[in-house]
Amino acid sequence: MKSSTEKSSTPEEQEPTEDNIVAAMEMVAENIEPTIGKTTGAEDDQTATKQVLIRATERDRDRWKEAADSKGISLSEFVRNLCNAAADEILDCNHPLEMRIAYPWSERCMACGHRFH
Ligand SMILES: [Zn+2]
């Protein structure tokens, strides 16, 4: 009955259910699949050292895998590409340059408040 000393994490990560283990095993299996002849983002694969466990329905997972296969990339790369695109859209400013106001020390978008450097 020792209390957890792990740093707090999201509820999603705090439930070490069998589902997560199965998913993790599947992701590992995914990563060791032979990729001969496939044009994967080798550079990304080398630097992509963090694992993200997510839950998905079997149907979703199967469809993601099918889509990834049809593009000739791994499921990891498929998910990574989409997440990167979504994160870029959310985090990065896509407003026109006219919306930016420049100070000597920085530049700022007046539409979303994003600061550049
Ligand atoms: Zn903006």
Question: Tens digits of per-residue pLDDT, 51-70?
Answer: 999 999 999 999 999 999 99
Give the three-state DSSP class for 75.
helix
Question: Does the predicted model carry a pTM greater than 0.85?
Answer: no
Please give the share of the chain, as a percent, with pLDDT higher than 70. 62
Distance in Å, CA 82 to ligand 1 centroid:
21
Q: What average pLDDT does this structure show over 89-98?
A: 90
Query: Which letter does DSSP use for residue 37 in this model?
Result: T
Distance in Å, CA 95 to ligand 1 centroid:
4
Distance in Å, CA 29 to ligand 1 centroid:
41
Distance in Å, CA 96 to ligand 1 centroid:
8
Give 90's pLDDT tier (boundaries 50, 70, 90): confident
More confident residue, 32 or 43: 43
State the Cα–Cα distance between residues 99 and 66, nearest whole angstrom.
Answer: 41
Residue 89, pLDDT score = 86
9 has a pLDDT exceeding 60: no
Distance in Å, CA 110 to ligand 1 centroid:
7
Distance in Å, CA 108 to ligand 1 centroid:
8
Q: What average pLDDT does this structure show over 79-101?
A: 92
Residue 116 contacts residue 108 (beta carbons within 8 Å): yes
Distance in Å, CA 78 to ligand 1 centroid:
27
Distance in Å, CA 47 to ligand 1 centroid:
29
Tallying the residues shown for the chain, one arrives at 117
More confident residue, 69 or 116: 69
Give the helix/strand (H/E) hosting 93. Answer: none
Cα-Cα end-to-end distance for the chain: 48
